[in-house]
Structures are given as structure tokens and as C-alpha cells.
Chain A
Amino acid sequence: DARVTQTPRHKVTEMGQEVTMRCQPILGHNTVFWYRQTMMQGLELLAYFRNRAPLDDSGMPKDRFSAEMPDATLATLKIQPSEPRDSAVYFCASGKGLVGQETQYFGPGTRLLVL
């Protein structure tokens, strides 16, 4: 049963520290999405990649967030420096096919708490 995996599942850090979240998409999927979920804002799309190329990162605060896909099996989301307002659950999802038409398969999320 193919699944999207995310590490770490939980992260507690102090303000100003760097946070790196990792995602392994389902093998064969060529689209990867990063979402952030909070009580106040709901589910927000931060960035997405197709064939490892960034297609849209307009939802991401550019000054502190960065997303990359070093290879087809790994996507990373980095926050540097982290702030308390970044506390949220970060989801990675992968899919194949045309963006907007495809089913997205979500990972279990990384729950981040910035103190």
C-alpha cells in the first residue's frame, strides 16, 4: 500500500531555529504539494512541484520559507528562522496527472510547534 511519508511527525523548536521537514512522495508520482493547516486559516497551499520543478510557491512567505526537491524521492520544506506564528501542521501530498484534476495523496503531516 503506497503512502506518502513525512518526517518528523512532531517538532518542537524555539523561535529563530531552523526547521526542515521532509517528504517522500509515492513512487511514480510527479507532482508534490506542501500545505499548511491551522485553525484560523484552514488548509493553505504553500508550494507545489511538477517533475521536481517549482510551479507555484506564491503561498509561501519568501523571506523565511523555502521548498526544494533534490530528487524525485525527496521534497523538503525549510523554515529559517522559525517564528511562533509558523506553528501548524504541514502536509505533503503527491499526485500524478494534470494539476487540478488529479487525486492528491496526503501524508500524515508534521506537527510543528515554535516556542
Chain B
Amino acid sequence: AQTVTQSQPEMSVQEAETVTLSCTYDTSENNYYLFWYKQPPSRQMILVIRQEAYKQQNATENRFSVNFQKAAKSFSLKISDSQLGDTAMYFCAFTTHGGGSQGNLIFGKGTKLSVKP
């Protein structure tokens, strides 16, 4: 079975500091895609960053970066210079490349991040 595990139900960080959210996954596939989504109180899932499994280079999007360890099946998210607007639920997710079809997303249970002033 394909699973995603987020071992930190809640985390907090001071504004302007750095925080790392953990994610591990399990799949027998070799070709897949990993994502971090942010869900603020508005409920909409917002894509934060994505990583293609065949790329060894870690993805970076402004203050957000990932540490992708394929052998360990680990995909952590680092948020630098945390801002109050980063307060939200963060979900790790992955999907496999199903040929001509779109793979469905498999989500972890989420980490609730609070950024404190």
C-alpha cells in the first residue's frame, strides 16, 4: 500500500525563524511526484512546492525548499524567514505517474504550523 506519514501533528515557530516539517512515504513505484500543500483557514489547498522523483536536485520556491532523500523515502519541507501568513495546515502528498492517466494524490494527515509574532 502507498502511504504518506507526517509525524508532527503540530509545530510552532517564531516569526523570521526557520522550521522544518517532516514527511516520509512508502511506494514501490520508481517514477512519482511529491508535493507540499498548504491549507489555511480558508480551506483551499495551495500548492507550495513540488518535486519530481527522478530529479536529484532539491526543489526551491522562494522561502520554501525541500530535502528529498529518495533512498530513505523522505521529503521534508523547510520554511525560512517564517511569516505570520505561513500559519496553516501543511500536507505532504505524492502521486505516481500512471501512463496516460492522472495518478490520484495520496495525502498525509498534516502538520499544523503556527507562526508566533
A binds B: no
